[in-house]
């Protein structure tokens, strides 16, 4: 075998894998948006949700919420949002502006979106 024939399949495989990863990353992140939030209110509604209110909001969206069906995730969001509120820190919130599924559990469609991720800085 020549040197070219040994490397060609690897190049083709790497190129195909790169295209697959780019397509997957584009599909996963296409809907998500990031928003820098100054938290002004943090709340808990047992058997419903945890939420944070940002001021200013992202247009009409001032509230970001997470359903409390997974208590671990809800506790982490609550802890991070509460710490940011008390310490006067900002949050980066990842959300999908088109996702209005939170309306089923108290995140109003007109001014609230579901939290996909959050970090404090």
| C-alpha span between 14 and 48 (Å, rounded) | 46
Token pair of 118, please? 């959050």
Sign of CA dihedral 41, 44, 45, 48: positive
| SS3 state at 20 | helix
Fold annotation for 33-120: OB fold (Dihydrolipoamide Acetyltransferase, E2P) (2.40.50)
Report domain extents, the chain. Answer: 1-30, 33-120
In this prediction, residue 31 carries a pLDDT of 75
| SS3 state at 67 | strand
Tens of pLDDT, residues 42-83: 999 999 999 999 999 999 999 999 999 999 999 999 999 999
Phi/psi of residue 62, nearest 5 degrees = -115, -20
pTM assigned to the model? 0.75
What DSSP character marks residue 101? G
| C-alpha span between 96 and 113 (Å, rounded) | 7
What DSSP character marks residue 90? -
30: confidence class by pLDDT, cuts 50, 70, 90: low
Tens of pLDDT, residues 75-92: 999 999 999 999 999 999
Q: Is 29 a residue whose pLDDT tops 80?
A: no
| Closest by Cα among 60, 69, 71 to 110 | 60
- Percent residues over pLDDT 70 in the chain: 75
């Amino acid at each position: 075998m020549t040197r070219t024939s040994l490397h060609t399949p690897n190049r083709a495989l790497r190129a195909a894998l790169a295209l697959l990863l780019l397509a997957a990353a584009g599909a996963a992140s296409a809907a998500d948006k990031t928003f820098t939030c100054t938290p002004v209110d943090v709340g808990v509604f047992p058997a419903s949700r945890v939420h944070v209110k940002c001021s200013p909001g992202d247009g009409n969206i001032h509230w970001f919420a997470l359903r409390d069906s997974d208590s671990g995730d809800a506790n982490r969001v609550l802890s991070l949002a509460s710490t940011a509120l008390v310490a006067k820190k900002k949050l980066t919130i990842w959300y999908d502006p088109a996702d209005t599924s939170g309306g089923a559990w108290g995140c109003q469609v007109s001014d609230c979106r579901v939290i996909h991720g959050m970090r404090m800085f």
